[in-house]
Amino acid sequence: MSESHSSPSLTHESLCALSHNHLVIVLFVNSRSAAFDLAIDVAKRAPLFEVRDLESIRIYAAGFARSFEGAILAMDLIHYVRGWKGTHFYARGRMVIGEMKQAYDVEAVLQCFMDSCKTDDWRAHCQRTIDSPYFPIHLRTKFEYIHPMFRHITAASDEGNFLFPCSYMLQWFEAQPDHPSSVTDQIQAEGVAKMCDICPRFNPNDFQSLREEK
């Protein structure tokens, strides 16, 4: 269990730097919510737990391990504090405001990572064979208004020509065939945009053609 101590180094820059070594860092402030004591109890169980006093408010930061247990604790704390004023998340060197859409992306990716940890082989959960990275999903426009965590879409895989590294991203991703960047780089960029890159399993370099293996 972490020890609480006042940290004058608890700054935006330091949290961005520290976030590279953690699954996610959750920052929140004092609250009158009935769940505040529960939130503090979860936060103190994180490997990183720091406190900073700023005039009339106290800021708390909890950084969680890149593991199944860390994801469980992070999700517990996020559920308590996400709607509180002043809540922020730090992941992979960037800040996410707690009430913005990206915060829900963070939660969805953490849930997906947790699911992968429950499997005998995480690749069975994370990776998919697809026919083409350019048109992996048909008739997808009707799903665009639905958040990926609530979609139930299966990519076409009649021939299984390619191995795609992130089944979660397949809910919406479609590579651009005429783009100057490679498919791998397009996957990496999309992972940054939708917070997939905070998942310890996310590796765009796992994208590969399977044709030579057939």
Residues 98-137 have pLDDT tens digits of: 767 888 899 999 999 999 999 999 999 999 998 888 875 5
For 1-24, the pLDDT digits (tens) are: 444 444 556 788 999 999 999 999
Q: Is 187 helix (H, G, I), strand (E, B) or coil?
A: helix
Among 99, 134, 166, give the residue marking a domain's end: 99
- Residue 180's domain comprises 122-213
The answer to whether position 26 is within a domain reads yes
Domain count, the chain: 2
Report the percentage of the chain scoring pLDDT > 90: 65
pLDDT-wise least confident of 57-66, 79-88, 143-152: 143-152
pLDDT of residue 1: 47
What secondary structure, in 3-state letters, does 36-87 show?
HHHHHHHHCCCCEEEEEEECCEEEEEEEECCCHHHHHHHHHHHHHHCCCCCC
Is residue 47 located within the same domain as residue 89? yes
Together in a domain, 95 and 127? no
The verdict on 64 and 140 lying in the same domain is no
One domain, residues 126 and 67: no
3-state secondary structure of 51: strand
